[in-house]
Amino acid sequence: MGAVTSWDVVVPTTGRASLATLLSALERTVEAAPGPGRIVVVDDRKDATGPLPGTRGRTVEVLRGRAAGPAAARNTGWRTCLGDWVVFLDDDVVPTSDWAERLATDLGRAVGATPEKAELERAGEGVVGASQGRVVVSRPPGGRPTDWARNVAGLENARWATADMAYRRGVLEEVGGFDERFPRAYREDADLGLRVTGAGYRIIRGDRTVRHPVGAPDRWASLRRQAGNADDVLMWALHGRGWRVAAGAPTGRKLRHLALTAAGAAAVGGSLRRRTGIARAAGAVWLAGTAELAWARIAPGPRERDEVVTMAVTSVLLPAAATWHTVAGLVRLPGQLGWWRGFRRRPTSPASPPPVPDAVLFDRDGTLVEDVPYNGAPERVAPMPGAGDALERLRQAGVAIGVITNQSGVARGLVTIGQVHAVNRRIEELIGPVDAWVVCPHAPEEGCGCRKPRPGMVLRAAARLGADPARCAVVGDIGSDIEAAEAAGARSILVPTTQTFASEVARAREVAPDLRSAVDRLLGDRIATGG
Question: CA-CA distance, 390 to 476, in Å (whole number)?
Answer: 14
Positive/negative CA dihedral, 492, 498, 504, 510: positive
Q: What is the DSSP string of 499-527?
A: TS-HHHHHH-S-B-SSHHHHHHHHHHHHH
- Residue among 174, 175, 186, 177 nearest 80 (CA): 177
Q: According to the model, what pLDDT value does residue 337 have?
A: 66
Indicate the Cα dihedral angle 299, 302, 308, 310, nearest 10°. -110
Q: What is the DSSP string of 329-381?
A: HHHHHHHHHHH-BTTBPPPPPPSSPPPPPSEEEE-TBTTTB---TT---GGG-
Q: According to the model, what pLDDT value does residue 34 have?
A: 67
- 51 burial class (0-12, 13-18, 19+ CB within 10 angstroms)? exposed
Domain ranges of the chain: 7-217, 222-345, 359-528
Q: According to the model, what pLDDT value does residue 222 have?
A: 87
Q: According to the model, what pLDDT value does residue 338 have?
A: 54
Q: According to the model, what pLDDT value does residue 449 have?
A: 74
Q: Looking at the chain, how many residues does it have? A: 531
CB 409 within 8 A of CB 440: no
- 334 burial class (0-12, 13-18, 19+ CB within 10 angstroms)? exposed
Question: Residue 30 carries which side chain, given as an amino acid letter?
Answer: V
By three-state DSSP, how is residue 137 classified? strand
User: What's the pTM?
Assistant: 0.63
Show pLDDT as tens, one digit a residue, over the chain (531 residues): 345 468 899 999 999 999 999 999 998 888 767 667 788 899 999 887 788 888 877 778 888 888 889 999 998 888 888 888 999 999 999 999 999 999 988 988 887 644 344 444 444 445 889 999 999 998 777 778 888 888 888 888 888 999 999 999 888 888 888 988 898 888 899 999 988 888 888 899 999 999 998 877 888 888 888 888 889 988 888 888 788 888 888 888 888 999 999 999 998 998 888 888 998 999 899 999 999 999 999 998 888 899 899 999 999 999 999 999 889 988 887 776 654 334 444 444 444 567 899 999 999 999 999 999 999 999 999 999 999 999 999 999 999 999 999 999 998 899 998 899 999 999 999 999 999 999 999 888 877 778 898 888 898 888 888 888 889 999 999 999 999 998 888 999 999 998 888 888 888 889 999 999 999 999 984 443 343
By three-state DSSP, how is residue 440 classified? strand
Q: Mind telling me the catalytic residues?
A: 363, 365
Annotation: CATH topology of 359-528: Rossmann fold (3.40.50)
The set of residues, in sequence order, having a beta carbon less than 8 Å from that of 219 and lying 6+ positions away, is 310, 313, 314
By three-state DSSP, how is residue 206 classified? strand
Q: According to the model, what pLDDT value does residue 236 have?
A: 86
| CATH code reported for the domain at 7-217 | 3.90.550.10
Run of H or E including 472: strand 472-476
By three-state DSSP, how is residue 288 classified? helix
Q: According to the model, what pLDDT value does residue 35 have?
A: 63
